[in-house]
Chain A
Amino acid sequence: MAELLLDDPVAAGFEIVHERPHSFYPEFFRKGDLKDQTHYCPGCGHGIAHKLVAEAIDELGLQDRTILISPVGCSVFAYYYLDTGNVQAAHGRAPAVATGVKRAHPESIVVSYQGDGDLAAIGMAEILHAANRGENITVFFINNAIYGMTGGQMAPTTLLGQKSTTTPYGRDHYNDGYPVKVCELLATLEAPVYLERVALGNAKQINAALRAIRKALRYQTERAGFSLVEILSPCPTIWKLDPVAAQKRVREVLVPAFPLGVYRDRGAEIPKGETLPPRPLPAPPPPLDAIPGLLDIDEQTPDPPAARPAQADLRIRVAGFGGQGVLMLGEVLAEAGLQLGLEVSWLPSYGPEMRSGTSNCHVRISSQEVDSPLVARPNVLLALNEPSLRKFLPTVEVGGWVLYNHHQLPADIAVPEGIHLLPLACSELADSLGETRAGNIVMLGALLAATDGLPIEAIHRALALCVKSARWLEIDRRALATGQQAAREALSNRSQEVRREIQ
């Protein structure tokens, strides 16, 4: 034989009728000592399947574009053999890894090569969802109904009654469930374009397998979408059969349990000669200098309003029911502080995303750097409901302001000495504007009237930034004015009362 291994057989007068695919390494340099042979057992289906995949890659001219994802299992070292780009994945995760690779390089050809334990047990979620997203990848799924690498344990595809090291009495569906039929399962999904089950039981089946593998890869080149070829494959070592008997078992035992055939072929549903609609490529990336604009961060710094307080130390607690605009009120305050060129922070007491619970936030507006964003001792409490008043009133600092969303305090609540109180039915006033939900901004207007910490110009700027809808911006501006007016009246009435009392 040795004399036949010529450097240039064509020059020596030979015609090449069959050769090793170029997509196979001529020597397995990653493998260690035995560089000329695979690590697979004699008669193992992986060797055949690898060769078919390499041949199909060659035939379609895809070698340079192909990235093979190796799984965990007997084919964990597929990257020893396939002379393509290679990524080795964690057990079962190859379809997720393939997703990351393919989305990064949509023009590459991404092949996920997985066994039955990898794909149909630990990796069931990943394969189902990659298929359901219609990822434009190709999956070759080797089903030999057993775990090979770990030494013969039950696979999700192990047949009922079949003995394995973890089903020593045979697979019992009451304990172990039924063999998983992957093609049938994936065929319940809308997205896959091609699902076929083939076998490696004899030369005829192997030829059919090559055709399926080629078609699956071709669909990827056409960006048609997700393809999977399930390959029923012999495992002579674990089955304890010689290679010929193992192939016979594929034909006579596996094929009846996992019927061969096409389970989905969108290409067969359209007229001959036409191709499936390609999945869209991502839009071309924008120029780099457009990125800040796309991120909404290209605004220029506005001039701060003229009336900017020299000293500020507002520690505000806003509280009420979910839906009363508690967080939004806090945000407007913080945004106003920022518009004034002050240091600000806004911290929500976040909760599960549902309405009708209680809600509160901490706002700090300061001429100094804000240390703790938590407001334990507020000098402003905006209480939009009674529970909030009861909860936070005792925390308010002496000299601080409390605004309460009702025309009077509950009878049993006494205002601590030194606390300024302004009860005002903000939600009712908002009602009169036709929008109860603007009660929060009525209260903001009242706060502006009661204290002179924040110029109205800053609040208007903040509202314009925080309120996206023109209708709401109009409502909020009216609410702000209403709150200011009502608070001025209430405070003026009160000082007249005080004056009368003194007189």
Chain B
Amino acid sequence: MAKQLIKGNEAIVKSAILAGCRAFYGYPITPASEIAEAAARYFPSAGGTFVQAESEVAAINMVYGASAAGVRAMTASSGPGISLMQEGISYLAGAELPCVIADITRGGPGLGNIFPEQSDYFQVVKNGGHGCYRTLVLAPHSCQEMAGLTALAFELAHRYRTPVMVMADGFIGQMMEPVEFASTAKLPAPPEWAVTGTAETRRNLASSIQLEADQMEAHVRKLERKYRLAAEEEVRCEHVETNDADLVLVGYGVVARVLKAVVREARAEGLRVGLLRPITLFPFPVLPLRSLAHRARIFLSVEMSTGMMVEDVRLALNGARPVEFFGRCGGNVPATDEVLRVVRELAIREGLRPLLTDVPSLEVCHG
């Protein structure tokens, strides 16, 4: 099939339908609205449901109902709307109901603005609702991944019976790139636990209530085992020139795209710089980071926030190597030159030797 020039937001919708999603409940919010718009256009003709809910609170609860009824279901929003959905996400996790939630992140706190930021990291990756639960989190950095990781999100949601978040910043949602979609569509039958209004499923119950203390603890332990299993099985990340890297950049989303340019330019200056791009933010690529620490001297987390993922990088490395942070926010994306300056400063501080000896001095190169 031909590659199609398509917005990241729209790619999510087409890929979801190909993955068997037949229920979309949403509420408009910039920069995620194209997802609801594309869903309104495509879901009904594909035999699915689209409803514009009265609020994000209602939308996530409609998803809860659809998921309990055994239909692959999703919603999408951005920071303020995701905050409202946290109640429902906790109930979905507690009731072990699968679904996919796309968060096209924007600036905050409060109403903030509509430009890209990655400041939803804590509320998305660290469980923004109540109770001991986690959501699996996938972080696309291209329109192709908006499609691919949305399909993966549905597989993981059903494999682990849990909500899965696709977290992309406003730029990944708004930009257009060529995307190649899956060539065939699938439509899995409702799972056996679903409540479908038939004699066979009459005794099924979707509920997050565990009334007795021991029962509740056993349930929470069961959830915990799922998350541990996911941490063993589902870590995904991309390595860019990390093999011989002295300095490892860590970034996701559109920032990772900028960091790829930084790696290229830093290498051209003779600096051994690599990039580790987490594709799953939960589970976080702890072991890949640790193994890089054998060779790399320093790590630099670059984010569109005041420093959120950097906490996970530090936890992963547990003091083995220094972890520095560079961030922009408010809708400003770290610029290639800006990050390069930080890289050069760190290279000097750490005494990192240039890869090549015949490189002209930095001033000549970039004066």
The chain A residues found within 8 Å of chain B, CB to CB, are 30, 32, 63-67, 69-70, 76-77, 79, 83-90, 93, 96-105, 107-110, 125-126, 128-129, 133, 282-286, 288-289, 291-292, 294-302, 331, 334-335, 338, 343-348, 350-353, 370-374, 376, 465
Contacts and interface: CB of A to CB of B under 8 A. Distances in A.
B2 A302 contact: yes
B68 interface: yes
Nearest first, the 6 closest Cβ-Cβ pairs linking A and B are: A100-B65, A108-B197, A285-B47, A104-B69, A291-B185, A88-B207
Given A108-B196, A338-B178, A373-B175, A350 B114 contact: yes
B63 to A, nearest CB: 6
B364 interface: no
A123 to B, nearest CB: 9
B266 to A, nearest CB: 12
B23 A334 contact: no
B87 to A, nearest CB: 6
A100 B62 contact: yes
Contact of B336 (A109, A331, A345, A376): A376
A88 B46 contact: no
Contact of B62 (A87, A99, A282, A338): A99
A282 B49 contact: yes
Contacts of B160: none
A284 B46 CA distance: 9
A85 B64 contact: no
Interface string B246-282: 0000000010011011001000000000000000000
B232 to A, nearest CB: 31
Contacts of B14: 295, 297
Interface in B12-58: 14, 17-18, 22-23, 25, 30-31, 42, 44-47, 49, 51, 53-55, 57-58
Contacts of B1: 292, 297-301
Contacts, number: 250
Interface in B283-298: none
B42 to A, nearest CB: 6
Contacts of A350: 30-31, 114, 170, 174
A283 B47 CA distance: 7
A132 to B, nearest CB: 9
Contact of B87 (A90, A291, A335): A90
Given A97-B68, A301-B3, A346-B176, 19 more contacts: A77-B209, A88-B207, A90-B61, A93-B64, A100-B68, A103-B62, A104-B196, A108-B69, A110-B197, A129-B53, A129-B58, A295-B181, A301-B1, A331-B5, A344-B5, A350-B114, A352-B114, A371-B257, A376-B335
B365 to A, nearest CB: 14
User: Which residue, of A70, A96, A133, has the highest number of chain B Cβ atoms within 10 A?
Assistant: A96
Interface stretch (B198-206, B314-322, B346-354): B198-206
A101 B4 contact: no
A372 B337 CA distance: 12
Contacts of A79: 205, 207
30 contacts: A66-B197, A69-B65, A83-B202, A85-B198, A87-B205, A88-B206, A97-B61, A97-B68, A99-B62, A100-B66, A100-B68, A101-B66, A104-B69, A105-B197, A282-B49, A286-B46, A292-B18, A292-B181, A295-B42, A338-B178, A344-B177, A347-B171, A350-B170, A350-B174, A352-B114, A353-B30, A370-B257, A371-B258, A372-B336, A373-B254
Nearest to B264: A371
B363 interface: no
A104 B25 CA distance: 12
Contacts of B209: 76-77, 88
B121 interface: no
A284 B45 CA distance: 9
B96 to A, nearest CB: 13
Nearest to A104: B69
Contacts of B206: 86-88
B87 A347 contact: no
B306 interface: no
A376 B257 CA distance: 13
Interface in B109-138: 114
A62 B339 CA distance: 65
Nearest to B90: A90
Given A299-B2, A302-B2, A371-B260, A87 B202 contact: no
A245 to B, nearest CB: 31
Contacts of A64: 197-199, 202
Contacts of B260: 371-372
Nearest to A336: B5
B17 A126 contact: no
B184 interface: yes
Contacts of B171: 347, 373-374
Contacts of B73: 100
Chain B contact-residue range equals 35 or more
A85 B17 CA distance: 27
Nearest to A301: B2
Contacts of B257: 370-374
Contact of B197 (A69, A109, A465): A109
A298 B204 CA distance: 39
Given A85-B195, A107-B197, A295-B181, A96 B30 contact: no
Contacts of A65: 197-198
B164 interface: no
Contacts of A84: 202
Contacts of B202: 63-64, 83-85
Contacts of B57: 93, 96, 125-126
A345 B141 CA distance: 12
Contacts of B95: 88
A344 B71 CA distance: 36
Nearest to A376: B335
Contact of B114 (A344, A351, A373): A351
A262 to B, nearest CB: 27
B4 to A, nearest CB: 6
Interface in B49-102: 49, 51, 53-55, 57-59, 61-71, 73, 87-88, 91, 95
A366 B115 CA distance: 26
Contact of A297 (B114, B181, B199): B181
B195 A101 contact: yes
A314 to B, nearest CB: 15
Contacts of B46: 285-286, 291, 294-295
B230 to A, nearest CB: 25
Contacts of A101: 65-66, 68-69, 195, 197
A259 B177 CA distance: 61
B233 interface: no
Contacts of A88: 95, 205-209
B212 interface: yes
User: Which residue, of A77, A88, A129, A285, has the highest number of chain B Cβ atoms within 10 A?
Assistant: A88
B187 interface: yes
Contacts of A295: 14, 17-18, 42, 46, 181
Given A87-B65, A350-B31, A282 B47 contact: yes
Contacts of B199: 64
Nearest to B209: A88
Interface in B139-193: 170-171, 174-178, 181, 183-187
